Chains A and B, each alone.
Chain A
Amino acid sequence: MSELLQFNLCLLAFNCFALAKFNHYRDVFKTRPSQKQSQQFIIVAWISILLSLLLCVVERQGYGVLLFCGYMALSVLLLMIFYSFKASWVKYISAVNVTLLLLSGSYIAVI
């Protein structure tokens, strides 16, 4: 479950990095992002990616860094596919991403 949390944090981070960009935001929401929105996306992205790295390292040390690099590769690949071929799906993917993030986070917090 912790792997799911780490990966979802990483995916969220890269998704926010992508949405902070004008062209990707426009592809998904059909409008242009405001300066404030872009900044907010970047802040969330940095917090999320650092949290993912932190969780990986705290739990698995050196092995965690390797996992984190793998999560980054997988996240970028998934987002590249969706943004390039199915930009309309990004909203749903983001919803699934956040849901899984909350579920895995809650599960770890409870257990």
Chain B
Amino acid sequence: MKENFFRSMTWMHTWVGLLVCWLVYLVFFAGTVSFFRDEVTLWSKPELHSISKPPAEPIRIAQQREQITNGIAYLANTAPDSSRWRISLPTTREPQLVYAYEKPRAEGSKRFGGWQTYIINPETGEATAQPRDSKGGNFFYRLHFDLHYLDARTARYIVCFASLFMLVALISGVVIHKRIFKDMFSFRKNKGSRSWLDAHNVSSVLALPFHIMITYTGLITLIFMLFPYPALTAYEDGLKGLFNDVTPTNIRTKSSTQSAPLVSTDYILDQVYTNWQSADLTSFSIRDPNKASATVTVRASTADLVKDQTPTMLFNAVSGELMAQSAQELTTSEVIYDSMTALHTGRLANPLLRWLYFLCGVAGCIMIATGCIMWAKRIRERMKKDQTASFGLKLVESLNLATLMGLPLATCAFFIANRLLPVSTVQRADKEILAFFITWLAVALFTLFKRAKMQWYLLAWLNAVACISVPLINALTTKGNLVSYMLNAQWALFSFDLVCLVCALLFILQAKKLRTQLSPPAPNTRSNRVTKPPLMEQKG
């Protein structure tokens, strides 16, 4: 225990933060990218770029009835015997209309057979070319809490543990930051570790409500995994019972072999629009079509309500009777849980709020990065000239370089692989992910041997080149480029390329800054020549 409260808090902030900073950086980085999950997925499937943005709300909603009716007819012709049909309607973020059916399951298997999807251009009603196999933004979304190669449950426990540490670090950070409002706009450049501390403080303070909100709600989204005991006590079938209770549309009817015709789609949609006037539907799914047990699930958008649970209605697809619908009035605890999930995912956000979320996410990444760099820098400054670095310091420096510079490079490798891998490659999506992890591993191995300023400098240039390559390779391998996206008002694609170029510019600035620190000062004094250590050996 330290001698006073302030010192104890400082000690806790340092060590709690340092212990998980690289993992939290990965979680923040991937989470920040996945605020634009749909846009990244759209970019990674150039076959969908020709589909223009759906019209504004009243016209789009008016078209939905026709799209659903056409979809049912299409699926009835294509897969009359499938056990599930799904029609996903175009939205402003996902402009394509999707008709899908479940592929036949393996003999005797109860496992889901996977979706066979058809992408339809909503303007023409024609099927477009099948898009390339890519996870796109979904990879980053899953990565930020499933950590990809780990078992999902284990990974989520690890991420929760790291989030808890992050929350402790945030709160202790507020306590130890005595001049939190006085230093709000202060950044003292070229002042060594003082500048790093300022950058750490500013990036923490400018988005402090966001940092606390995103960390706390992140824990809340997984609360039933962390703390299932009330549900296990109250329900005989545990969490399943709880979820069925709060989601009345989870009813599963027993599959029947008896055939029965589907009720008219209009009859169901009339009921939907009577209950929810001007509802913006997102999907229309049928389970067991053309069977006596057939059910229809209709989902609508939550629009900009701070609410995550999708408004859903469940109908008997043979009689058209409404079987269940999502609760209109939620209990206080449901409202709290649901709104916290909505706040965390940011699915409610319009483009302006989405960009603000992104900005705050970037601030979070900077806060973590500056924190871990500062730790190593301060230890280096305290070391005597002839003292060799400890194993711990070397490890932290390696991890800093590998994570902070390796992750952006790996992300670029993922996008470059998306454009360069042949479309016909088997398990193409997995190969893109492999490119991501191989690049990151290569950087990590590189940092094991050298982690001086020169290596930061090299990786800054490598990142700059990789960031420029993404829009460049995109322009060379697809019909679109930054200019055409701007002229055609394809703002999601334009922004993607622009962000890559901005990142490239920032890496160039970083490299230039490092270059000035690497170049030897003019040997104008005797003391300069004698006392300065070799610059290549100075640590970052």
Contact = CB atoms under 8 A, between A and B. Distances in A.
Interface of A: 3, 14, 17-18, 21, 23-24, 60-63, 66-67, 69-74, 76-77, 79-80, 83-85
A18 B207 contact: no
Interface string B203-242: 0011101100100000000000000000000000000000
B184 interface: yes
A91 to B, nearest CB: 16
B348 interface: yes
B500 interface: no
Contacts of B343: 66
B189 A74 contact: no
Given A17-B184, A77-B206, A62 B306 contact: yes
A1 to B, nearest CB: 12
Nearest to A15: B185
A77 B363 contact: yes
19 contacts: A14-B185, A17-B181, A60-B304, A67-B352, A69-B209, A69-B210, A69-B356, A69-B360, A70-B357, A72-B209, A73-B207, A73-B356, A73-B363, A74-B356, A74-B359, A76-B202, A76-B206, A77-B359, A84-B188
Given A21-B182, A63-B353, A67-B352, A80 B206 contact: yes
Contact of A80 (B202, B213, B305): B202
Given A3-B352, A69-B210, A70-B357, A24 B185 contact: yes
Contacts of A61: 306
- Give the interface size class of chain B: 20 to 34
B339 interface: yes
B186 interface: yes
A92 B305 CA distance: 38
B202 A73 contact: no
A84 B209 CA distance: 23
B185 A80 contact: yes
B491 interface: no
Contacts of A62: 305-306, 339
A8 to B, nearest CB: 14
A73 B306 CA distance: 20
B461 interface: no
B360 A70 contact: yes
B189 A84 contact: yes
A60 B209 CA distance: 18
Contacts of B339: 62
Interface in B311-361: 339, 343, 348-349, 352-353, 356-357, 359-360
Contacts of B359: 70, 73-74, 77
Given A79-B185, A84-B187, A63 B305 contact: yes
A71 B343 CA distance: 16
A70 B348 contact: no
Contact of A66 (B186, B202, B353, B363): B353
Given A73-B210, A77-B363, A83-B185, A67 B202 contact: no
Contacts of A23: 186
Nearest to A71: B356
A73 B189 CA distance: 21
A72 B184 CA distance: 12
A73 B206 contact: yes
Nearest to B307: A62
A69 B217 CA distance: 16
Nearest to A83: B185
Contacts of B206: 72-73, 76-77, 80
Contacts of A63: 304-306, 348, 353
A33 B181 CA distance: 18
Given A70-B360, A80-B202, A18 B353 contact: no
A60 B207 CA distance: 20
A46 to B, nearest CB: 13
A64 B184 CA distance: 23
Given A72-B209, A73-B210, A79-B185, 14 more contacts: A14-B184, A18-B184, A18-B185, A21-B185, A24-B185, A61-B306, A67-B356, A70-B356, A72-B206, A73-B356, A73-B363, A80-B202, A83-B186, A84-B189
B143 to A, nearest CB: 24
Contacts of A69: 207, 209-210, 213, 356, 360
A55 to B, nearest CB: 15
Residue from the set B185, B186, B206, B304 with the largest chain A CB neighbour count within 10 Å: B185
Contacts of B348: 63
Contacts of A85: 189
B138 to A, nearest CB: 24
Nearest to B352: A3
Nearest to B181: A17
Contacts of B363: 73, 77
Residue from the set B306, B349, B359 with the largest chain A CB neighbour count within 10 Å: B306
Given A63-B348, A70-B360, A76 B353 contact: no
Contacts of A60: 304
A18 B181 CA distance: 10
A76 B203 CA distance: 10
Contacts of B181: 17
Contacts of B185: 14, 18, 21, 24, 76, 79-80, 83-84
B369 to A, nearest CB: 16
A53 B210 CA distance: 16
Residue from the set B206, B306, B349, B363 with the largest chain A CB neighbour count within 10 Å: B206
Contacts of B186: 23, 80, 83-84
Nearest to A21: B182
B304 A76 contact: no
A79 B349 CA distance: 25
A111 B209 CA distance: 33
Nearest to B355: A70
B352 A76 contact: no
